[in-house]
Amino acid sequence: MGTGADQRFHLDQDGHSITVVRSSGGRRTELLVDGRVVAATRTPRHAPTELGGEFTEGGVPRRFTVRVGRADIPGGEPLCTLETGGQSYLMPVLPLTPAEQWPAEPTPSPRTPAEMWARWREHRRRPPV
């Protein structure tokens, strides 16, 4: 995903949906908890972005921090982490639309007739979808 597109990071944590969305060009970053915007900020040009939020766990509010770094290389993906309760969790990048999804990796060609036979047998065993 290049810098011209929105970027979304997502993690399900303790029964809550936590999402970070960076706007095109990385000028604005929003933090959503369970689909609701809880924090937003202008993204610093040369520094990591830090946003704070909280979710309720068993009636007790639990604070957390999300940090979004800058991409190491032009056009690369920044690193996004969720920090809560002394633990740090990597938030993976998720595509915003089906058109942005990564293509499935092709299955490599079989190297031997035995490998081809094993694949054919495995394919025949799978129940129809």
Residue 117 lies in a domain: no
The pTM of the whole model exceeds 0.75: no
| CB contact at 8 A, 18 and 27 | no
Residue 39's domain is classified under what CATH number? Answer: 2.40.128.180
Give residue-wise pLDDT tens across range 40-50: 998 877 778 89
Residue 112 lies in a domain: no
Residue 115 lies in a domain: no
Residue 121 lies in a domain: no
Give the pLDDT band (50/70/90) at residue 79: confident
pLDDT at 51: 94
Which helix (DSSP H) or strand (DSSP E) does residue 119 occupy? helix 113-125
pLDDT(70) > 70: yes
Residue 26 lies in a domain: yes
From CA 129, how far away is CA 121, in angstroms rounded?
Answer: 17
Task: Indicate the number of domains in the chain.
Answer: 1
Rounded average pLDDT over 89-106? 69
Q: What residue ranges in the chain does DSSP mark as E strands?
A: 7-13, 16-22, 28-33, 36-42, 49-57, 60-68, 80-84, 87-90, 93-94
Residue 75, domain extent = 7-101
